[in-house]
């Protein structure tokens, strides 16, 4: 990376860090590009050069959050001995992260905002694909170890992503204890089903 590229990356990080504070304090909708201009001292043009839009800037922060989550998981994954234990561990980390992350409230506003540019939609789709790959790897591991029965890995990954995404939306007003219990029950249901006899 040459000096100009390094300077550009530092500017981008400075804008993102300042914007993160605003989004946490004011929420997604109430934070304007003008607010970001004011706190960073960067021009509107400079902000748009790095991020294209307010949506693009916020999505950059969400992607950072996503990568941080994955990094945290990789650091503690080895303490779980079975794939089933890992699934309960993933659920627990999701609860702790979702309910405690400073950007959660702003993220809810962002994802409930109906108007998204095609660029943002594309990046959101890429994020979902990354999540699905994460679950596919995990499910394959369970099958290879004989903990999960053989089934369609891709479909199971979609179900798991849908389950956890839905839980994150439905558990916002729950206490930490209630949310943990709900996620643990969801994992149990995913693993064993609820029918008393095969259909």
Each residue's pLDDT tens digit, 101-128: 899 889 988 888 767 777 888 888 999 9
pLDDT digits (tens, 9 = 90+) for 122-170: 888 999 999 999 999 999 999 999 999 999 999 999 999 999 999 988 8
| For residues 70-98, average pLDDT | 94
pLDDT of the residue at 198:
63
pLDDT of the residue at 175:
92
pTM: 0.85
What are the C-alpha distances in Å from 114 to residues 86, 109, 111, 120, 140? Answer: 34, 10, 8, 12, 35
Compute how many other C-beta atoms are within 10 angstroms of the C-beta atom of residue 44: 11
Lookup result for tokens 């994020």: 127
d(CA 86, CA 152): 20
Q: 112, 164, 103, 105: which is closest to 138 by C-alpha?
A: 164
Q: 171, 135, 163: which is closest to 151 by C-alpha?
A: 135
d(CA 115, CA 75): 36
d(CA 61, CA 55): 10
pLDDT of the residue at 91:
96
Contacts with 26 (C-beta within 8 Å, 6 or more apart), sequence order: 35
């Amino acid at each position: 990376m040459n000096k100009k590229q390094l300077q550009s990356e530092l500017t981008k990080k400075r804008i993102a860090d300042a914007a993160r504070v605003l989004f946490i304090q004011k929420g997604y909708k109430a934070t304007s590009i003008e607010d970001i201009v004011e706190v960073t001292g960067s021009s509107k043009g400079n902000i748009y050069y790095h991020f294209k839009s307010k949506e693009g800037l916020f999505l950059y922060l969400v992607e950072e959050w996503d990568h941080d989550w994955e990094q945290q998981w990789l650091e503690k994954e080895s303490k779980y001995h079975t794939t089933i234990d890992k699934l309960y561990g993933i659920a627990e980390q999701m609860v702790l992260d979702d309910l405690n992350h400073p950007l959660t409230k702003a993220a809810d506003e962002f994802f409930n905002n109906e108007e998204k540019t095609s660029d943002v939609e594309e990046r959101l789709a890429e994020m979902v694909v990354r999540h699905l790959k994460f679950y596919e790897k995990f499910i394959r591991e369970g099958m290879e170890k004989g903990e999960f029965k053989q089934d369609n890995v891709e479909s199971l990954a979609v179900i798991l992503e849908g389950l956890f995404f839905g839980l994150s939306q439905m558990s916002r007003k729950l206490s930490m204890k209630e949310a943990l219990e709900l996620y643990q029950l969801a994992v149990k249901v995913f693993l064993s089903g609820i029918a008393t006899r095969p259909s």
